[in-house]
Amino acid sequence: MTRIDAKFAELKAANRKAFVAYVMAGDPDYETSLEVVKGLPGAGVDIIELGIPFTDPMADGLTIQLAGQRALEAGQTLEKTLAMARAFRETDDTTPIVMMGYYNPIYNRGVDRFLADAQEAGIDGLIVVDLPPEEDDELCIPAQKAGLNFIRLATPTTDDARLPKVLQNTSGFVYYVSITGITGAAEASAADVAPEVARIKAQTDLPVIVGFGIKTPEAAEAIAGVADGAVVGSAIVKLIEEGRPVPDILAHVRGLAEGAHRAQAVTP
């Protein structure tokens, strides 16, 4: 059982929805980013998504594109992202960390080396947005053999014919992308999301977490009310872009987390 599996078991026992926060590793610099990441669990975050900065983030909107650029310009690398996870694990051995990004940096490092390093650093799962199920032998299967969850994205265009393929080797949770488009591009609608989540849950026992387009505590509550939890990324990254003090960023995260957690008694 991974930390992700344990976290969802804990949340289920408490009839509580998950709040997942995304931040770009190394944005705006290593020290500030680590301070934010270390503060996330205390702000109510159940699972941390740690972005791997990459030069060509095709699934991301301008906010996260710019975050990746800032991180790269500040010297962030995959090695430093792994080091950040190790530093986090020095004081927190329970909060799950999911590395989210693109395959190129992992491929360049070498899959076997990357998986060994990720496991040693305390990484629990991977979201690699540009590896479809047809490429599962490339990273997904080796990752799961190494004890890491491989989390797949489902989208509004994932039809009933495609969905079983998407779910085939997914573990940890399913990440449902609430909008058609890139991160931060539009606002998620619980009315639109609810039937899609139900359709996915009819084919898997995994938790379904919804991300993209969630910007406020109210939206986090509404989306978590029709799913197993909500992910917020761009709205948090935007505060980092604005140069807000870390305590202010964490206070905003706390409000988002409280929104998602208010939905704990709602049955999807």
Residue 77: inside a domain: yes
Catalytic residue among 5, 27, 46, 49: 49
Residue 254: inside a domain: yes
Residue 257: inside a domain: yes
Average confidence (pLDDT) over 50-54? 97
Average confidence (pLDDT) over 165-170? 96
- The answer to whether residues 106 and 139 touch, using CB atoms and an 8 Å cutoff, is yes
**112: amino acid identity, one letter:** D
Going by pLDDT thresholds of 50, 70 and 90, the confidence category of residue 107 is very high
Q: State how far the Cα of 66 lies from the Cα of 25, in Å rounded to an integer.
A: 12
Going by pLDDT thresholds of 50, 70 and 90, the confidence category of residue 114 is very high
Model pLDDT for residues 130-149, shown as the tens digit of each residue: 999 999 999 999 999 999 99
Torsion over CA: 44, 82, 54, 70 (sign): positive
Q: Which domain holds residue 108?
A: 3-9+18-263
Residue 79: inside a domain: yes
Residue 60: inside a domain: yes
Going by pLDDT thresholds of 50, 70 and 90, the confidence category of residue 267 is very low
Catalytic residue among 5, 27, 46, 60: 60
Residue 268: inside a domain: no
Domain of 95, CATH number, reads 3.20.20.70
Q: What is the domain count for the chain?
A: 1
Residue 183: inside a domain: yes
Residue 107: inside a domain: yes
- Judge whether 49 counts as a catalytic residue: yes
Angle at 59 between CA 148 and CA 35, to 5 degrees: 60
The three-class DSSP label of residue 143 is helix
- The answer to whether residues 233 and 49 touch, using CB atoms and an 8 Å cutoff, is yes
pTM of this prediction?
0.95
- Judge whether 60 counts as a catalytic residue: yes
